[in-house]
Structure formats: structure tokens, C-alpha cells
Amino acid sequence: MKPLNFLITAGPTREFLDPIRYLSNRSSGKMGYALARAAAKRGRVTLVSGPVSLKPPAGITVVPVTTAAEMAREVLRRYRQSDIVIMAAAVCDFRPRRVAGQKIKKQEFAGRLDLVPTVDILTELGKRKRRQILVGFAAETDHLERNAVEKLRRKKLDLIVANDARAFDSDTNRVVIIGRGTREKLPEMSKARVAVEIVKRAIAARA
């Protein structure tokens, strides 16, 4: 049987205001890296990773990126050849309209940031999906499952992993894996074990 090609994203992205300051998310990258390790036991893995302080998993291809635009470019470049795509990165939703060439002095700051949306990578992948299994994540502070189901439908995902935003810095996670007409709530467990369960269900979704 031909090995499966996994494409996984992890970590945060950064959107710079000036050469020193940036907007970002709280993601540690632990969930995405755990997914890469679990997937490496089932096929070939490319991990597109935002800035994290984690050791790259052995035996996989790691593509480092910083901004949402860079992550979008690297993911879309590899999408067609992928069998299973798991988007675990916490991508910034907004970026400054303009990046200052020099450090913005406190006394010169007008008190307001002019932000514009970044590219919605999951939406783009949903539009281009052919044979791929597309798995997204939903980190919410309220109405977790309701928002996850809406995101699953709107972005044309096969599965979505709903988890509380408080799991960002933790070594454990408690998730609900939602598919089209399916819902499975897992008990709290290590992110390594959660990763194995997610990979298992993503492979099963290809049947």
C-alpha cells in the first residue's frame, strides 16, 4: 500500500508592527508536533511550523514559517500532493495594514492599530479540496461545539477538533472530534494520546 502523505501545521504565526513588535497567538505548538509524531508512524509527514521552542520530530520534513502569508504559501504549495491535512496551527486572523520600517516610538504612537484580515488558509483549502481529508481545529472561549460545527460546515472540513482555549499551554487536552453527522467527546489525556486518536480518525475518514 502506498504510504500516506500528511501535511500538518503547528504553532502560532507572527504579524509584525515594526522590526521589534508583533501580534501573535498563545499556541505552544505542542499539539501540532504531537500530531506530526503520531502521523509519522502511519506515513510521510511535512510539518509547516510557526515559531516554537520545540525540538523537531525525527524523520519528518519541517518547514519553518513566521507569518500567516508564509504559512499559506507553504501549505498551498504542498496541498495537491497531500492525502491528509491537519491544520493545528493558531494562525493570526489580522495583520497590520502597514509594517513600520523603524521601531514605533511610544510618544509617536497614535493609539490605534490599523488591522486587515490575513488569508484564511482553511477556507482556501476547503475550496480546493479534491481527494484530501481536511481536518481543522476550533479553539473557543464560549459555545465551543456550536462554533466548531459551524466552522466545519462553512470551511468544508471532514473533521474538526474542538478544544477549549485553555489547552494552549498545557501538556494535556480535552477535545471533541466532530465529523459530518458524528461527534465524539474524548476524556482529558496527554496531547500525544489525543494526537494518536485524531490521526486514527482522519485515516478512517478516507474509507
Query: Of all helices (H) and strands (E), which one includes residue 163?
Result: strand 159-164
Domains of the chain: 4-92+114-204 (3.40.50.10300)
| pLDDT value for 77 | 97
DSSP annotation of 90: B
Kindly list the distances between the CA atom of residue 185 and the CA atoms of 73, 76, 117, 121, 174, in Å, as whole numbers in the listed order: 33, 31, 32, 26, 8
Instruction: Tell me the C-alpha distance between 178 and 158, whole Å.
Output: 9
CB count within 10 Å of CB 203 equals: 17
Residue of 85, 120, 89 whose CA lies nearest to 11:
89
Residues of the chain below pLDDT 70: 1, 141, 166-168
Threshold 0.85, pTM exceeds: yes
Whether 25 is a known active-site residue: answer yes
**Could you say which of 25, 147, 163, 173 is catalytic?**
25
pLDDT score recorded for residue 2: 80
Q: pLDDT tens, 34-62? A: 999 999 999 999 999 999 999 988 899 99
pLDDT of 167 reads 66
